[in-house]
Structure 1
Amino acid sequence: MQRLIKNGEIIDETWHLLPKDATLDGLFNSDDLIVPLGLWLDHAHALKARDGGLGVWLDSDEEVEAIADDLSHFQVVALNFPVFSDGRNYSNARLLRDRYSYQGEVRAIGDVLRDQLFFMRRCGFDAFALRADRDPVEALESFKDFSDTYQSASDQPLPLFRRRQA
């Protein structure tokens, strides 16, 4: 069972992440599922009727605008990083939090490494499924890498100079 970092703690994974080529065949009605965007777009009506939890995942070439009207149906939005150097989903996380005021879990999946976690949290991620060969206990330390930030972001809307004035 995979372990993830969520809200600063290490927890056991309880959601099933379906692959990109998944179909509705054989899915249990009560499982908590994170479905690929394509499956959601093709079968939203059937997925909404399930009893289990529902999440969706977007690849780095898919835009959050595709699910903007459906965000109330998802407890989890997972954003895939196919390679460490592909940062397009940082923007999707900011859009979810800042433009669409999404309050559910925003999870980083894929090639997620310790070096990214601090900055991912700044963009609005609150859960991180690290790459399988990485230690989540060691990765927790990345949140202590910087003691303060200058810029505003999803996790701190006021820049440092405004916080100092207050």
Structure 2
Amino acid sequence: MQNLIKQGVIATDDSWQLLRAEDAAFAADDDVILPLARFLQVQGGEHRGGLAVLLAPDSDPLALQPHLADLPLIAIDFPAFADGRGYSIARLLRERLAYRGELRAVGDVLRDQLSYMAQVGFDSFAIREDRSAAEALDGLADFSEQYQGTVLKPVPLLKRRVSN
């Protein structure tokens, strides 16, 4: 996967292959990100490579609950810039389901979204291919504070004490 920001830096070595088609072929040793239905069919089988899941905006993340401890990566799809359902899925995975693995935003991911995505728990971002990951990286630092409680800072700004 190209144009990837991971843990605040541009990633140069990522072996994950995003396979959006339910019937996409892959080798047994490949590290693959599969749509939820395909992941549920394949997991626990004979696949020797890494296995991760792609959640569409209408996917039910609760279906992953029994597998969360073993999942190294969950990718959440943003099919359009204006589709914000992935934010809710990410926050649910981090806060209610206590998912601690890599949470990757994929699809129509742009610089303007990165700061907000990080606040709900994303730690890697597959930037759209027609955009520069180096320029998008600056989007993580667009805002120094958030007013509301977030995954990164659960206490809202109003309740934080500032010492002199």
TM-score by length of 2: 0.91
SS at match of 2:118: helix
- Alignment length (residue pairs): 162
- Conserved? CA contact 2:34–2:53, under 8 Å: yes
* Cα distance between partner residues in 2 of 1:87 and 1:161: 25
For residue 160 of structure 2, give the secondary structure of its aligned residue in structure 1.
helix
- Do 1:97 and 1:124's aligned partners in 2 also have CA atoms closer than 8 Å? yes
1:109 aligns with 2:106: yes
Shift of 1:105: 0.3
Q: Report the counterpart of residue 5 of structure 1 in structure 2.
A: 5
Any runs of at least 4 consecutive aligned residues in structure 1 with deviations exceeding 6 A, and if so which? none
Instruction: Give me the whole-angstrom Cα distance separating, in 1, the residues matched to 2:22 and 2:34.
Output: 10
Task: Verify the 8 A CA contact 2:22 2:34 in the aligned structure 1.
Answer: no
Unaligned runs of 5+ in 2: none
SS in 2 for 1:45: coil
Greater CA drift, 7-16 or 107-116: 7-16
Q: Which segments of 5 or more consecutive residues in structure 1 lack a partner in the other structure? A: none
The letter for the 1-side match of 2:161 is: R
Q: CA deviation at 1:59?
A: 0.7
Higher helix share: 1
Q: Aligned-pair RMSD on alpha carbons? A: 1.6
**CA-to-partner distance for each residue in 1:119-141, whole Å, 9 max, x for gaps?**
00001000000111010100111
Instruction: Check conservation: 1:17, 1:34, Cα contact below 8 A.
Output: yes
Question: Among the aligned pairs, what percent are the same residue?
Answer: 46
8 Å contact from structure 1 (residues 54, 73) kept in 2? no
Residues in 1 aligned to 2:42 and 2:141: alpha-carbon distance in whole angstroms: 42
Mapping for residues 149-160 of structure 1, pairs under 5 Å: 149-160=146-157
